[in-house]
Structure 1
Amino acid sequence: MSLLGIFRSPKKRTPKRGPREDLPPEVKRVVEVLRSVNDPETGVNIVDEGLLYGLTVEGGRAQVFLLLARSTPECHFCQSIAVNVQRRILRDIIRVLREEGFNRIEVYNEIGLLLEEWGDNDGSARTR
């Protein structure tokens, strides 16, 4: 490598959009289903917006992990809007996964707090 080569900036890598290639087919399918859930504030789906950061699929059970960090904590009006947006997103996640046939759905935030759940192990509907 020449002396000038040291100062050249490395080629930038563009992150790939969408599910990783090594994911199981059932996880990829759920990620694609979750693309139909839009953030009502921005109109962008939760996958492309980066709100979905984890997912576990086991049979009829889905655990969804979301990054829902709030901005401007001192603004009470902003907090109210954020809570309403979050409720809408949670409701839409439960709806689309129920339509896909899941009988147990759990949605968690970035610190592992259960935000919403639907159903139980025997398949009967139960909304938190």
Structure 2
Amino acid sequence: MFTFKIFRRRKPNKQSKKLPEDVKKVVDILKKVEDPETGINIVHEGLLYGVTVRNESVDVFLLMASSTPHCHFCRMIALQVQRKIVAGCITALKDAGFKKVKVYNELGLLLAEG
């Protein structure tokens, strides 16, 4: 017989959710970038996991891990989707006035800059 422990959920700490204004601005801009495959923005989809803002420069960190089966056709589609998302991030942030934008993957490898 198995017993399950029930843990009380902690009340969310509202203090920890406060982000600096410049980071909030970048997150709001990136909410306009949609995954072309799902139509969901990259923030709500969980692809955005980090942002660093320095003056007019932004580093964006995306979780681009593959969750598709290992077939060559799936990889080609995934790469096309990734390219569109990365290009969308750079375009959206450049249009908002940022001079330098770098997009990294979950391993810290530079995917693109603009």
Query: Root-mean-square deviation (CA), in Å?
Result: 2.1
The separation in 2 between residues aligned to 1:69 and 1:13, in whole angstroms, is 29
Compared with structure 1, are the counterparts of its residues 71 and 13 closer, same or farther at alpha carbon in structure 2 (3 Å cutoff)?
Answer: same
Paired-residue identity, %: 53
* Change over 3 Å in CA distance of 1:71–1:32 after alignment to 2: same
- Secondary structure of the corresponding residue to residue 10 of structure 1: coil
**For 2:6, which of 6, 9, 15 is the aligned residue?**
9
Partner of 1:92: 88
Give the whole-Å Cα distance in 1 for the aligned partners of 2:12 and 2:86: 27
State how many pairs are aligned. 109
Distance in 2 (CA, whole Å) between partners of 1:24 and 1:103 is 19
Cα distance in 2 between the residues matched to 1:58 and 1:64: 12
Q: Which has the larger radius of gyration?
A: 1
Matching residue of 1:49: 45
Q: TM-score scaled by structure 2?
A: 0.86
State how far apart, in whole Å, the 1-side matches of 2:41 and 2:12 are. 18
Matched residue, 1:105: 101
Gaps of 5+ in 1: 1-6, 119-128
**Counterpart check, 1:31 vs 2:27:** yes
- Aligned residue in 2 for 1:116: 112
